[in-house]
Amino acid sequence: MTAQSRILLINPQMTSRRSARFPLSLLTLAGALEKTTTCRVIDGNVDREYWSTIEQLLATEHYDAVGLTVMGGPQVQSAIDSSKLIRRFSPATPIVWGGYFPTLYTNAAVNAPYVDYAIRGAGEVALAELLEAIGDCDKLGRIAGLTWKRSSEVVHNEERRSRDDRTATPLPYHLLGDPRAYLAKTFLGHRTATHQASLGCRFRCTFCGVAAMFRGATHLPPAERLERDLTWLKESLGADSLQFFDHNFFDREEDMVPLLEVLARIQLPWWCYARADALLNLSDASWKLVRQSRLRMAYIGAESPNDAMLANIRKGTSSDQTLAVAELCRRHGVVPELSFMVGPPDDTEAETERTFEFIRQVKKVNRDSEIIIYIYTPLPPECLPKSARVRAGARPLRDLNGNLLRFPTTPEGWTEKRWVDYSCHADAPWLTERVRRRIRNFTTVLGCRFPTAQDVRSPAWTKTTLKALAAWRYRFRRYDRPWELALSRRLVRLANPAVTSL
């Protein structure tokens, strides 16, 4: 290996160009490797010819390895296609997968001839160590968080303890070419930037990939670093608003105050993930800072109105707190974006109907609340920490016919539609067609009756029309067969080609 090693980092395509956001995982890795490694970043969300770019780079330059970031869902197929292309084009180049997919489904990820290494959890240090160790089995065996292949045997090294290994220097945005291409028009502003300030989450909700990735650890940034990064995004890049991807922005109040003071100084409207209990426990003084900082919307996992289920999934909040936080946010001018998980495997229909009724209650408390509805698709038991695994294993998941669910064992398996839907919380094998239809219909009526504030493309008249059309259905709970709403939505889209997704 040369003194300065070289790596090609790829974000396989997963979304439309308009929805592309900074590939923070790759920028974070490139930032950490900067001193020792030359990094090239290819973002398939932006570079629509990215396969030819990969081919061209591999043909003209030497790389010690190629690293792909892989999230469950549609990105797995792009990651497979890219990896096969790399293997074909440059058979000797080692291929490394990192991110949520190989962390959660490690065995499946490495069960493919085109994946040589999987890095579980944060990759900054592990990837640097791997670049040093390729070809040396002793060294490979000592890299915490690495899964690798010794001849035909798969070796899972010990877990890497969660630490904040990010460098103190700013992210190398220049590796993206023109980073301004990533500023998006959103309800927050004309040029919304994305950023991740803290890392991890101290909670361990059993359904959540973040808990499985960070195992209850969180790392907050020093206020100076946050101020430096946000000042750069605002003044040098021209961002006029911010979306924080921190897993859970509001941590302990005493630690949050310096960060909120920075945000109050920076004065950019912002959006973040938060928890109901953390917001409810904030003092008046901190809420004053929150208002000054221009927090516009907080995404809060409400999950379920059923307190027994909340306890079972170790959420640590209650349905009363959901209602209380909706009210508190209303008073402070922050929109709560509440996500719910319907269609759980136990008591599926009744739980789903109960959730619909609870959503109506939330809307009564704060009609501006945004509602997100997901299907409850828990992580497979093997992804959970040991303590939760035993309990989850005791109640195995079954499909509609009572057969035990067998999760895929290869990357290809995870690209089957039913498993892509499972990863995206869009469908579950235990749902009957009746429940699916019911969820679809309720979501349609709710979405038309209360159009989302995040749709910045539809003209106001379309929202008013849909609201009026949906009013009687919502009022009388007539969710079934909302054909006129579905048709009107389609016509609105046809009339306004700019609208592609609500």
Contact range with ligand SF4 by CB under 6 A, out of 205-213, 344-352, 399-407, 439-447: 205-213
Please tell me whether residue 205 binds ligand SF4 under the rule CB under 6 A.
yes
CA distance 214 to 362: 31
Q: Which is nearer to ligand SF4, 205 or 435 (CB)?
A: 205
Q: How far apart (Å, rounded) are the C-alpha atoms in residues 90 and 181? A: 30
Query: Does position 366 bind ligand SF4 by CB under 6 A?
Result: no
Please, which residue, 211 or 492, has the CB nearer to ligand B12? Answer: 211
**Binds 160: which of ligand SF4, ligand B12, none (CB < 5-8 Å by kind):** none
Binding partner at 407 among ligand B12, ligand SF4, none, C-beta below 5 to 8 Å by kind: none
Q: Is 476 exposed, middle or buried (0-12, 13-18, 19+ CB in 10 A)?
A: exposed
Which long-range contacts link 448-455 to residues 24+ away (Cβ below 8 Å)? 448/482, 448/485, 448/488, 448/489, 449/473, 449/474, 450/363, 450/367, 450/371, 451/502, 452/370, 452/502, 453/187, 453/297, 453/335, 453/368, 453/370, 454/186, 454/187, 454/370, 455/187, 455/499, 455/502
The binder of 203, among ligand B12, ligand SF4, none, by C-beta within 5 to 8 A per type, is ligand SF4
Strand locations in 30-90, DSSP E? Answer: 37-43, 65-69
Residue of the chain from 247, 275, 449, 473 that contacts ligand B12 (CB under 6 A): 247
Which amino acid appears at position 36 of this protein? T
Distance between CA atoms of residues 336 and 330, nearest Å: 8
Residue 226 in the binding site for ligand B12 (CB under 6 A): no
Helix-helix angle 348-365:433-449, to 10 degrees: 10
Residue linked to tokens 């516009």: 296
- The counts of H helices and E strands in the chain are 20, 16
Binding string, 96-125, against ligand B12, x = CB under 6 A? x-xxx---x--------------x--xxx-
Tell me, residue by residue from 413 to 452, as one string, x for binding to ligand B12 by CB under 6 A and - for no binding: ----------xxx---------------------------
Among residues 94 and 343, whose Cβ is nearest to ligand SF4?
343
Determine the residue type at 502: L
At 148 the three-state DSSP class reads: strand
Q: Which residues 6+ apart lie within 8 Å of 302 measured at CB?
A: 276, 317, 319, 322, 338, 339, 340, 362
**Only segment of 43-51, 118-126, 199-207, 395-403 that touches ligand SF4 (CB under 6 A):** 199-207
> Min. distance of Cβ 210 from ligand SF4 in angstroms?
4
Question: Residues in contact with ligand B12, total (CB under 6 A)?
Answer: 37
Choosing among ligand B12, ligand SF4, none, which partner's interface includes residue 201 (Cβ < 5 to 8 Å by kind)? Answer: ligand SF4
**CB contact at 8 A, 344 and 351:** yes
* CB-based contacts of 321, cutoff 8 Å, min separation 6: 276, 277, 280
Of residues 171 and 341, the one with the C-beta less far from ligand SF4: 341
| Least gap, CB of 251 to ligand SF4 (angstroms) | 10
Q: State yes or no: residue 299 binds ligand SF4 (CB under 6 A).
A: no
The listed partner (ligand SF4, ligand B12, none) that binds 41, CB under 5 to 8 Å by sort, is none
Interaction with ligand SF4 in 397-456: which residues (CB under 6 A)? Answer: none
Q: How far apart are CA 285 and CA 283, in angstroms?
A: 5
Residue 21's binding partner among ligand SF4, ligand B12, none (Cβ under 5 to 8 angstroms by kind) is ligand B12
- Contact between 195 and ligand SF4 (CB under 6 A)? no
Closest CB to ligand B12 among 209 and 269? 209
With beta carbons less than 8 A apart as the criterion, state whether 453 and 335 touch.
yes
CB of 423 to ligand B12, least distance (A): 5
Contact pick of 12, 47, 57, 69 for ligand B12 (by CB under 6 A): 69
One of 275, 296, 438, 449 touching ligand SF4 (CB under 6 A): 275
- What are 310's two structure tokens? 């909340």
